[in-house]
Amino acid sequence: MKKKVYKKALYDLQVELVKFQKHVIENALQVCIVFEGRDAAGKDGTIKRFTEHLSPREARTVALGKPSDRETHAWYFQRYVPHLPVGGEMVFFNRSWYNRAGVETVMGFCTKKQYGLFMDEVGSFEQMLTHSGMQLFKYYLDISKEEQKKRLEARKKDPLKQWKLSPIDEAALSHWNAYSKARDGMFERTSFSYAPWYVVRADDKKAARINIIRHFLSENDYPDKNEAVLAFDRDVVCLFDPVCYETGMIVR
């Protein structure tokens, strides 16, 4: 996506996001947006474009670190519950409880029993959230192995991105197939009718950001909605379906 086109589209969409947040605040809505994906897939940048012009009092980003000793002995979902939105809030999870379905199982940070328990419970957990009235959106940003390698190498050279480097990032490429298997199992077992996964083809960062915001806004109703700027590219964002593998939306 060309820079000029991107900037114009982003401005229009951020105006819509401000309208949407006003609607959320006035109607005490609870909005939770989960971002998952491979390392360097663009989660940070996407969330920043969402929140750039939103009121920080009612729009929070949650990016939890390593669990404490106390948290490792608690119910798995317990550490996430305090961060969920209350009425009038939008919360963006930069990785979420789905750590257990991805990095934890791939890197051996959880047992097979813990993984199985998570898979058995996550559907009930999300059903409780949505049944209570919370709006829950789950986006998975997928990139090619070549693009991931390029972005990880760029991080090493950029002094402003040193904070993004971690041992987990270093292992991303060598565990590519294991992450693919974990991702596929997560899609198969946790894309629910009440909380589906949306897959994002994110090799083009700008196109991914624009189309995620367009998709999100198109799924919501709010006053003075400008439908003309919300047409998203279904070759960039789509509802998870096994056909996504055949079309190349999901990288093998």
Per-residue pLDDT of the chain (252 residues; tens, 9 = 90+): 899 999 999 999 999 999 999 999 999 999 999 999 999 999 999 999 999 999 999 999 999 999 999 999 999 999 999 999 999 999 999 999 999 999 999 999 999 999 999 999 999 999 999 999 999 999 999 999 999 999 999 988 888 887 777 878 778 999 999 999 999 999 999 999 999 999 999 999 999 999 999 999 999 999 999 999 999 999 999 999 999 999 889 998
- CA–CA gap between residue 229 and residue 9 (Å, rounded): 8
Which residues of the chain form beta strands (DSSP E)?
A: 30-37, 59-62, 89-94, 135-142, 197-201, 237-239
Question: What would the DSSP string read from start to end of 48-111?
Answer: HHHHTTS-TTTEEEE---SPPHHHHTS-GGGGTGGGS--TTEEEEEES-GGGGGTHHHHTT-S-
Would you state the torsion angle of the CA atoms of residues 125, 100, 199, 60, taken in this order, to the nearest 10 degrees?
Answer: 70
Tell how many helices (H) and how many strands (E) occur in the chain: 10, 6
The CA-to-CA distance between both ends of the chain, in Å, stands at: 24
CA atoms within 13 A on the CB side of 94: 19
Domains and CATH numbers, the chain: 3-247 (3.40.50.300)
